[in-house]
Amino acid sequence: MTRHLKWLIPLLLAPLSFFGCAWVAQLTIANSDGNLNTQPSFGLTVVVVASIMLPVFFVLWAAVAGLRLVREATRLRIESRAADGPQTNAQPARSYASSAESYLTPERNQIRAERRDAEAETTSTHSAADEDIAEPEPFVYLSQEPSTDPQITTLTALSDASSLLALLQVDLEPAPIEIIGRESIEGDPEEVFHYETTLFHSRFTGNVFTDGNQEDDDSAFPAFVRAGLTVGDAHSPAAIDALHLSDAERGLIGGWRQPQPVRVIVTDERVLCLVEGEWTSIRFDDMAVLYPSPERRGFIAEMRTDLPVLLSGPTAPILAVWVIYLTQGAEWLWEDASLDMLRGK
């Protein structure tokens, strides 16, 4: 309340000064014996001028003080939002069909490139005085511990994905990893490696435009995606039946090639898959639409110049978090409805 006195006091003084001057003028006229035909005294002239100028002065004073207060409040609000990080009440995408254009558009690719350039420029300008800044910590993936129980691996992978999501949402990027056999991978020598795992790899050879969505669920994936998410490492016929696929979707299951386990590496430019002894690149700038499904342990990317690709397995949610972060940025991790289960929703 005290800060508001800076504009309240002068605003109150404006009418008080007017009525005060009017009262003094009335007294001056009364003391002149009521003779208004004579030349007004100098004192009366000063009082009349003051009755006009003082209220104007105090009103201007109040306006300037109020404007300064508003600017200060706006500055504090902006600083507070910057300190708090992204807001947690971001609206999720309404549906994947309607949000397809929001993924990996040229504008977003440009934003991503500018962000990478800015990060590189910031890193290159650090001086020796900044050497005491802590280096990024490596992320410990519990799901990489050997386990004979697939259920335990799945649960630890979901836990890893949730923990990784919480870090990347605020741009706390874990330290890059070292890759065994790096020399066998062709590409940019400055390429950064973020994650390595083993997943099942498959490509879709059917028609992606087949309409098989449920009419009463406009948030459903396209038919070929729903069919693909039944193709994986541990999907039994009973699990497929539980998805209540339409006849069209069941017919599309055969469009996915037989999945095979492959070594998968996520870099800052692409996803690498070691398929039949050769590295295959799934580049971020060639991805058209992403369909992450942590609850079904699957991740599908619809490509611009290649067949849709499916990567499935217990660690697919971790892959999904990395790909969305590297293609869309931290802000999209707050908004993507498919990651709700990793955010505990």
DSSP state of 89: T
**Alpha helices per DSSP H over the chain:** 5-31, 42-84, 106-124, 150-168, 223-228, 237-242, 247-252, 316-328, 330-335
100-115+138-343: CATH number: 2.30.29.30
Q: Identify the pLDDT of residue 64.
A: 84
Q: Identify the pLDDT of residue 51.
A: 80
Task: Note the pLDDT tens digit of each residue in 287-311.
Answer: 999 999 998 899 999 999 999 999 9
Q: Identify the pLDDT of residue 116.
A: 61
Q: If residue 140 lies in a helix (H) or strand (E), which one and from where to where?
A: none
List strands edge to edge, sheet with 309-312.
278-283, 270-275, 260-267, 193-203, 309-312, 298-303, 287-293
Q: Where are the domains of the chain?
A: 2-31+41-79, 100-115+138-343
Nearest-CA neighbor of 345 among 155, 162, 143? 162
Residue segments in the chain with a per-residue pLDDT below the cut of 70: 1, 32-40, 74-135, 146-148, 209-220, 232-250, 345
Euclidean distance between CA atoms 307 and 34, whole angstroms: 102
Region for 104 from its dihedrals, namely left if φ exceeds 0, alpha if ψ lies in -120 to 50, beta otherwise: left
Helix, strand and coil percent figures for the chain, each rounded to 5: 50, 15, 35
Euclidean distance between CA atoms 295 and 314, whole angstroms: 10
Nearest-CA neighbor of 224 among 237, 243, 205? 205
Q: Identify the pLDDT of residue 214.
A: 45
